[in-house]
A and B are shown apart, each in its own frame.
Chain A
Amino acid sequence: MSDSALLLEVRDVAKRFDSVVALKAASLKVRPGEVHGLMGANGAGKSTLVKIITGVFPADSGQISVKGVARSFRSPAEARRAGIVSVYQDPALVPDLTIAQNMRLAGASLDAVRKWLAELGVAGLDFNLLVRDLPGPALRLIDLARALAWEPAVLLLDEITASLPADLSEQIYAMVKQWRERGNAVIFISHRMAEVSALCDRATVLRDGVTAGVTERAHGSEERIVALMLGAETARAVASVPSTRAPRQRSSDAQAALEVRRLGRSPLVNEVSFKLYSGEVLGVAALEGQGQDELFDCIAGSRRYDEGAIFAHGKELRLRHPADAIAAGIVLVPANRLLALLQQRPILENIALPAFGGIRNWGPIRIRAERTRVESAIERLQIDTRAGSELSRLSGGNQQKVVVARWLASGFDTLLCFDPTRGIDIGTKRQIYALVREIAAAGSAVLLFTSELAEIALACDRAIVLFGGRVVAEMPVSEADEAALLRAAHGLAPLGQASS
């Protein structure tokens, strides 16, 4: 097919945000009348590419052509006029307006939206309801119906089925197929391999911001897609795994430092159970939005759970506030350092803070004792303290160390690390993993979620994989290579069991 017949062509698009490179050389060719899958592991650049195509932000370099004409859109509205419409991961509806007002705001015809909603199986929705009062799945469908009402030639669906119940997903598949029959194109982004394989005609795979390859036939190409997502780097990552750690000797009646039993929080966490022992690092692997955020928040006491129980050393915990978890020795290192640190305050204060959380600590501070504890923590972690007066002047990696250091200084039993190396350079990453190992070796338990699957092998003893809010696999680190984790994280059965 000649390039002028393409509906949309993206060539070598690059984009960086400050020091983080989101896209290096992404290319994509979309033909009329096809459903095109866009695949890639976490952070491969899928969502960034969608936002560049639809004009949310501009590309640094590269070219986008629509029907053979080079275009660059400065806003989603401009892209829409050229026939390109996206349904983003988070619904683009204004919460304080009614549905009808939202449609007027975006210039979508009410009748058309109503018609498409009916096709999606939602009839008789009251358009005078406030968006704020509607449940998430309804918003997704309204967002989709609005996108369809503009009759786009290219419809982009970014993880549209991620938080939808199965029956609504079916409605969306039918709609996608119908849109293809009309000679339009749909770009379909999903973590669910089965979905992509059933729905997509072709698939483009992104890896680390580069188009790794295109499969001409999505159905039956699962293995090739996984291989493309992994790339040649897997070999190197596997080679760099430290000498296999001997499985820890554990008497069968040993009490778990942390036990999670049938934990549930609708709709994102379902019957999650696992045990974490002292001296162990348990890895949690999952693609985006599989319930890991909620799981960690529940254990750390910052979110309530509906079902199940959490035990520390055999004692059931009642977690109503992060302070309850901290009192039980469970502390969290969140992914977003900004949530944990006081940017305008010195390092010392940031490290010492959790020790002063309780109301009985409102008296004077014993400065000297405090300083000794804090300084020993700083020394252990080799934090660069030259910019000591204000935390915001530290590098990301050093800031992350400060978060760990504060818990070292105040003492803990179980450390929850949520993606501690996000946006951190490789050298500091190594240090942080070495630190995690050291903490475990000193007898604490560590629960570690990382969005980079290759890192599980570097730091963990065991790994569990979450998919759709459930634990779908558990494996010792010796089996937890990136390929096995990626398969499990996409909801695929392990290779050996695929045939049975």
Chain B
Amino acid sequence: MKGPDASGMRLLERLRRALRRDPSLFFMPALLIASLAITLAIHPQFSDFDLQSLAMGALPLAFAAAAQTVVVISGGLDLSIGSAMAVANVLAARTMEKASFEQSLPLAVAVLIAGAAIGALNGLIVVLSRIPDVVATLTSGFIWGGVALIILEKPGGGAPPDFLNLGTGTLFTPWMPNALVLLVVAVGAIWIPLRRSKLALQLYAVGSDRVAAFRSGVNIGRTRFAAYVFSGLFSAVGGLGLTMTTGIGAPLAGVYYTLSGLAAVVVGGVSLAGGRGGMLGPVMAAFVLTLIPTDLIFLNIDPNFGQVILGTLIVVIVMIGGFVDMGRNRK
């Protein structure tokens, strides 16, 4: 009699604690379900096609958010994510244009390595030069933006259809877009092993309290460097995602994702002060931030007003998160 009751209590206790630790774990799914419900309400004929375009639209943003999340958790900020995505995007579109599907896969791996290298350079600049990360990554963002334009002057290039299909097609049923599968697989393949490693502890520790982390034996420089490498890697996946979903390379398309990715991070409950938050929140926030403009279009609202409403909604969501946090800390 007592056994199941006790384990039930323990589960409740664990849930309560997880909620206290990261309220976005519950808040974000609720927000996502709510925005999906609203979408269904104003657009009852929501079809498999709508789901596919939602997934395709959210894909690059989700990766941009993932890239930013790793750096923000470690107490930094990366303003070069959009440019790194642009480089990956045009690099893929330029090299894959005449390639076969079999050739495109190793090329994709090469693009990922290039992205990680961009992140590594950022990390070196931030760690070795001690230039504030905002300044260092803002300026390196200009450089990579220029490099993207050198690689591909104007939108163009392409990739083999089978490769594009990884981002645009569906798996088993039309209700299972490949973009969604790709997102889950890619984020899961990078984040889950990372989250279980000692490096993740070090990332959170450095973001939470650098002095305490140092005294606990953490190598601060190496940890921050690693955060930027992962940021570059996620950016490159995002760039590949852009290539898949748009079918071409566009040197200026990535830039937009630096700030909207950061918005997703903030909405997703990651503390900009570092040390707090997870990956699920920002990725879900990417979907919410993609759904809102879509809904506004369904409602026939002038896109310029849409921008104002979107910004206002972000502020409101972040404020609610802030109040939850304040209540939690006051206790």
Give the chain B neighbours of A77 by CB distance below 8 A.
217
CB contact list, B209-261 vs A, under 8 A: 209, 211-219
Q: Are B217 and A76 in contact (CB under 8 A)?
A: yes
Select one of B17, B20, B198, B275 contacting A105, CB under 8 A: B198
Q: Are A94 and B275 in contact (CB under 8 A)?
A: yes
Whether a CB of chain B sits under 8 angstroms from the CB of A475 is no
Docked complex Cα distance between A259 and B216 (Å): 45
When each residue 93-110 of chain A gets 1 if its CB lies under 8 Å from chain B and 0 otherwise, what string results?
A: 111110001101111000
Taking the closest CB of chain A, its distance from the CB of B81, in whole angstroms, is 23
Taking the closest CB of chain B, its distance from the CB of A58, in whole angstroms, is 14
Taking the closest CB of chain B, its distance from the CB of A156, in whole angstroms, is 12
Q: Are A94 and B209 in contact (CB under 8 A)?
A: yes
Whether a CB of chain B sits under 8 angstroms from the CB of A24 is no
Considering the complex of A and B, which 4 residue pairs feature the smallest CB-CB distances, nearest first?
A: A77-B217, A92-B215, A96-B208, A96-B275
Whether a CB of chain B sits under 8 angstroms from the CB of A56 is yes
Give the chain B neighbours of A128 by CB distance below 8 A.
17
When each residue 7-24 of chain A gets 1 if its CB lies under 8 Å from chain B and 0 otherwise, what string results?
A: 000000000000000000
CB contact list, A21-79 vs B, under 8 A: 56, 75-77
Q: Given the known A-B contacts A94-B209, A95-B208, A95-B209, are A102 and B216 also in contact in the complex, defined by CB atoms under 8 Å?
A: yes
Q: Are B216 and A106 in contact (CB under 8 A)?
A: yes
Q: Are B276 and A96 in contact (CB under 8 A)?
A: yes
Whether a CB of chain B sits under 8 angstroms from the CB of A137 is no
Whether a CB of chain B sits under 8 angstroms from the CB of A88 is yes
When each residue 103-141 of chain A gets 1 if its CB lies under 8 Å from chain B and 0 otherwise, what string results?
A: 011110000000000000000000010100000000000
Docked complex Cα distance between A96 and B213 (Å): 11
Chain A residues within 8 Å of B, Cβ to Cβ: 56, 75-77, 80, 88, 90-97, 101-102, 104-107, 128, 130
Find the B residue at minimum CB distance from A92. B215
Q: Are A88 and B217 in contact (CB under 8 A)?
A: no
Select one of B198, B204, B216 contacting A92, CB under 8 A: B216
Number of interface residues of B (CB under 8 A): 22
Taking the closest CB of chain B, its distance from the CB of A304, in whole angstroms, is 13
Docked complex Cα distance between A433 and B243 (Å): 71
Docked complex Cα distance between A238 and B207 (Å): 50
Chain B residues within 8 Å of A, Cβ to Cβ: 17, 20-21, 198, 201-202, 204-205, 207-209, 211-219, 275-276
Residue in A80, A92, A102, A107 with the greatest tally of chain B CB atoms within 10 Å: A92
Taking the closest CB of chain A, its distance from the CB of B77, in whole angstroms, is 18
Q: Are B217 and A94 in contact (CB under 8 A)?
A: no
Chain B interface mostly helix, strand, loop or mixed? helix
Q: Are B17 and A94 in contact (CB under 8 A)?
A: no
Q: Are A97 and B201 in contact (CB under 8 A)?
A: yes
Q: Are A105 and B215 in contact (CB under 8 A)?
A: no
Docked complex Cα distance between A403 and B213 (Å): 35
Chain A interface mostly helix, strand, loop or mixed? loop
Q: Are A96 and B207 in contact (CB under 8 A)?
A: yes
Give the chain B neighbours of A101 by CB distance below 8 A.
201, 204
Q: Are B213 and A105 in contact (CB under 8 A)?
A: yes
Can you list 11 A-B contacts with CB-CB less than 8 angstroms, sorted by A residue number? A56-B215, A92-B215, A92-B216, A94-B208, A95-B209, A97-B208, A104-B201, A105-B198, A105-B213, A107-B217, A130-B20
Docked complex Cα distance between A489 and B204 (Å): 41
Q: Are A105 and B214 in contact (CB under 8 A)?
A: no
Docked complex Cα distance between A128 and B20 (Å): 12
Q: Are B208 and A75 in contact (CB under 8 A)?
A: no
Taking the closest CB of chain B, its distance from the CB of A336, in whole angstroms, is 17
Give the chain A neighbours of B215 by CB distance below 8 A.
56, 76, 88, 92
Give the chain A neighbours of B208 by CB distance below 8 A.
94-97
Q: Given the known A-B contacts A80-B217, A105-B216, A106-B216, are A95 and B275 also in contact in the complex, defined by CB atoms under 8 Å?
A: yes
Q: Are B217 and A97 in contact (CB under 8 A)?
A: no
Give the chain B neighbours of A92 by CB distance below 8 A.
211-212, 215-216
Q: Are A105 and B201 in contact (CB under 8 A)?
A: yes
Taking the closest CB of chain B, its distance from the CB of A273, in whole angstroms, is 31
Find the A residue at minimum CB distance from B274. A96
Docked complex Cα distance between A311 and B302 (Å): 61
Find the B residue at minimum CB distance from A104. B201
Q: Are B202 and A105 in contact (CB under 8 A)?
A: yes
Find the B residue at minimum CB distance from A130. B21
Taking the closest CB of chain B, its distance from the CB of A157, in whole angstroms, is 14
Give the chain A neighbours of B202 by CB distance below 8 A.
105
Give the chain B neighbours of A93 by CB distance below 8 A.
212, 216
Q: Are B214 and A76 in contact (CB under 8 A)?
A: yes
Give the chain A neighbours of B17 by CB distance below 8 A.
128
Q: Are B21 and A94 in contact (CB under 8 A)?
A: no
Docked complex Cα distance between A92 and B198 (Å): 18
Docked complex Cα distance between A60 and B275 (Å): 34
Find the B residue at minimum CB distance from A98. B21
Give the chain B neighbours of A105 by CB distance below 8 A.
198, 201-202, 205, 213, 216-218
